[in-house]
Amino acid sequence: MTALRQLFRFHGGVKPAYNKEPSTTQPIADFYALAPLPAEFVIPLHQSIGGVPHPLVAAGEQVKKGQLIGAPDGYVSSAVHAATSGTVKAVEMRLMPHTSGLSALCVVIAPDGKDEWIERQPVPWRAMAPDEVRDALRDAGVVGLGGAVFPTYLKVNPGKKGKLDTLVINGAECEPFITCDDMQMREQAEKVVRGAAILRDLTQAGQVLIGIEDNKPEAIAAMQAAVTQTGEAKIEIVPVPTRYPAGGAKQLIRVLTGIEVPHGKRSTDYGVQCFNTGTACATYEALELGQPLISRVVTVAGNVLRPRNFVVRFGTPMKDVVALCGPKPDSDRLIMGGPMMGFAMPADTVPVVKATNCILVGSKALFPPPPPEMPCIRCGECAKVCPSDLAPFEMYWFSRAKLFGKAQEYHLFDCIECGCCAYVCPSRIPLVDYYRFAKSEIWAREQEKSAADEARERYEFRMLREEREKQEKAAKLAAKAAETKAKLAAAATPEDAAKKALIAAAMERAQQATQNPPAPPADNAEAPPAPPAQQTPS
């Protein structure tokens, strides 16, 4: 059946040196079975796309392994849990595993050595309403482990049609050096298949296609055996051609289904949803075992003597993991991810997080500095390999000139930053860096505009409120005056009426006297007699 399935091609792509074999010679190891617990776990609260979870613990509190320490905040957010039992040393800003070198709020836990779990119970998800199952996945901290770290509970939705046609499980793992998904499919195939079945039932998908690049024959065989053993219906293992970036969601959907998701649309609009194999495994463990996501499989490769895959808990310093693999003396950097899409870390003390699929140790010999950037010759090689079918050289020119509006017209935000364009550029232009710069500038300007619009709306609302309060106050005073006048009129007596009549008559006479003053005397009129002279005593 697999051989008869029609596959499709996506535009562009490259075939770099994959360098995957060294880290697949040994099975996945539990890092903490080979090394002691670190002196402290630094667990960032923000480990997924969306809002930052708010801390539920404070310094001095005792926690257990798997305990909820960060509650989801807002619609797009996911929970965070303790990686071991111990004492909370602090809830403070610590350096994040990001090339920016910025800090974020973290929960710092000092292990007590007991490594004591919370009580774990399976989630009866089959008997629960869909919203309750999604809440369980959110509270278990399950996110996409393929790199995007998008909260999974938001994706297990049947979509507008009430069900999906196809559920795609991404086992392509096309990035060089990274083998965590490959090894997990080899050794934990049953968990992956059962997790895919759970995702199928939650999304009500008609079929499940698990796409695996054909340079992973051991993983393909293990997954096919797991499908047979579990007896899961409508799950098919599909080998796909090895070509970077076949692991991109839109690219894999195109290869497996022939559906090309256009700009501004989502795959669910076309009845398709995509999850990573690691996400499927984490979903199984969260619902069937009641185990929150506190660790993942991480590849350590590059300039090390013993590359290997480890199960590493979140919050573990990267330097501790790398030390177990024997970094070579000329190692000069750590990269989170692969050589095509990875980021250089600001320090080796940053913690492993949910997005850490690989710790790549670099050196000048392994990754020599690029030659000087040369002018673009508009050869078009970048456009030939772009998997999103864009015009990278046009986006480059407009990004460099800071004409961000024009760059958006060329669908800048459809760029998945795979690095194919920079990989083939004869002028050695770091094209993806320009695109990231342009995107960040556009986001910054949109945030500034949003902040200005909010400030204007707040000002206008305040002015309207003040005017409304002024009118309400005037109306209240007028009503009170009318009420007082009515009360006085109702309480008036005949004597009061007579007094008011006398007063009114006097006021009328005074007004008439003011309007009609007496005429001055004539010139020949007899003068009035003078007053008698006052005599002074002698």
**Predicted TM-score of the model (pTM):** 0.83
Predicted confidence (pLDDT) per residue in 449-476, tens digit: 989 999 999 999 999 999 999 999 999 9
CATH number 3.20.10.10 given to 21-35+117-344: no
Give the other-Cβ count within 10 Å of 77's Cβ.
Answer: 23
128 or 487, which is more confident: 128
Predicted confidence (pLDDT) per residue in 165-196, tens digit: 999 999 999 999 999 999 999 999 999 999 99
**Quick check: 275 and 143 in contact, CB under 8 A?**
no
Predicted confidence (pLDDT) per residue in 47-65, tens digit: 998 889 999 999 999 999 9
The span from the CA of 428 to the CA of 121, in Å, is 54
Q: Extract the tokens encoding 62.
A: 């005792």
List the domain boundaries for the chain: 21-35+117-344, 374-471
pLDDT at 241 over 60: yes
Confidence (pLDDT) at 67 = 97
**What percentage of the chain has pLDDT greater than the value 70?**
95
Confidence (pLDDT) at 3 = 46
pLDDT at 6 over 90: no
Predicted confidence (pLDDT) per residue in 118-144, tens digit: 999 999 999 999 899 999 999 999 999
The span from the CA of 354 to the CA of 316, in Å, is 11
Helices marked H in 337-430: 381-385, 392-400, 404-409, 420-424
Predicted confidence (pLDDT) per residue in 193-214, tens digit: 999 999 999 999 999 999 999 9
Averaged pLDDT for residues 295-303: 97
pLDDT at 528 over 60: no
CA 164 to chain centre: 24
**Is the preceding omega at residue 245 within 30 degrees of 0, hence cis?**
yes
Confidence (pLDDT) at 532 = 57
Confidence (pLDDT) at 534 = 52
Characterize the bridge pairing of strands 68-71 and 54-55. antiparallel
pLDDT at 223 over 70: yes
Confidence (pLDDT) at 4 = 59
**Quick check: 278 and 354 in contact, CB under 8 A?**
no
Nearest to 366 by CA among 303, 300, 430, 299: 303
Cross-strand partners of 496: none
Taking the CA of residue 56 as centre, how many other CA atoms within 13 Å lie in the half-sphere pointing to its CB? 14
* Single-letter amino acid code for the residue at 510: A
